[in-house]
Amino acid sequence: MKLNVATHNAHKLREIGEILPGFEIASEDPDVEETAPDFAGNALIKVRAVAAHHQGEWSMADDSGLEVRALGGAPGVRSARYAGEPCSTPANNALLLKNLEGVEDRAARFTCAIALVDPEGREHVVTGHCPGRIAHEPSGDAGFGYDPLFIPDGYDKSFAVLGEVEKNKISHRGRALAAARALMLA
Ligand code: IMP
């Protein structure tokens, strides 16, 4: 069965391929603006753009980010461009640490929303969370984005130290993909 995925991100495509081995995966850039106030809304904007010209097939889009409790849920949907444009991971991580200077409550979570359009044209949204906390300094060099600063609950090492295999077992994206898989194979 064909699955059209609204991303060119090689890391995401590999993870989707691993969890959905029976699907023929095609990747496509939806080229739309992510203007929704939440992850599910942005995932829906992207999947609709792709599904519009793939009727009768599955289409999928995701949107994800980091929510920090003491910052009222920021950076949230602005995770990629927290420190402004152009997107810079070192600048985002530095700003996050600066905004949490002297803050004791380090609780945070990653969220991933996956929107799907099924072959009959129906829309579905599934969500995965990974709760944890923000470290006081970065560690590790695996992964991407906020991984060097994020320590998942039950661990004392950052995602960037834990590495991809361990991360995928518990990550927000791994959990959302598992829910998507259950929905698609039901
Ligand atoms: P997007 O869903 O690919 O647009 O991700 C938005 C942003 O959220 C990324 O640019 C990262 O800053 C952050 N993010 C999402 N998932 C992760 C993750 O697994 N690790 C670290 N940062 C992430």
Question: 33-88 pLDDT, tens per residue?
Answer: 999 999 999 999 999 999 999 999 999 999 999 999 999 999 999 999 999 999 99
Please confirm, yes or no, whether 62 is among the known catalytic residues: no
% of the chain exceeding 70 in pLDDT: 100
Q: Is the pLDDT of residue 176 over 90?
A: yes
Give the list of residues 6+ apart from residue 46 with CB closer than 8 angstroms, or none.
Answer: 6, 30, 32, 34, 61, 63, 115
Ligand 1: residue whose CA is nearest its atom 11: 145
Q: What is the pLDDT of residues 121-147, one digit of tens each?
A: 999 999 999 999 999 999 999 989 999
Q: How many angstroms is it from 165 CA to the middle of ligand 1?
A: 17
User: Which domains are assigned to the chain?
Assistant: 2-185 (3.90.950.10)
CA nearest ligand 1 atom 13, residue: 65
Question: Which atom from ligand 1 is nearest to the alpha carbon of 9?
Answer: 3
Q: How confident is the model at residue 9 (pLDDT cuts 50, 70, 90)?
A: confident
Give strand pairing partners of 133.
Answer: 107, 151
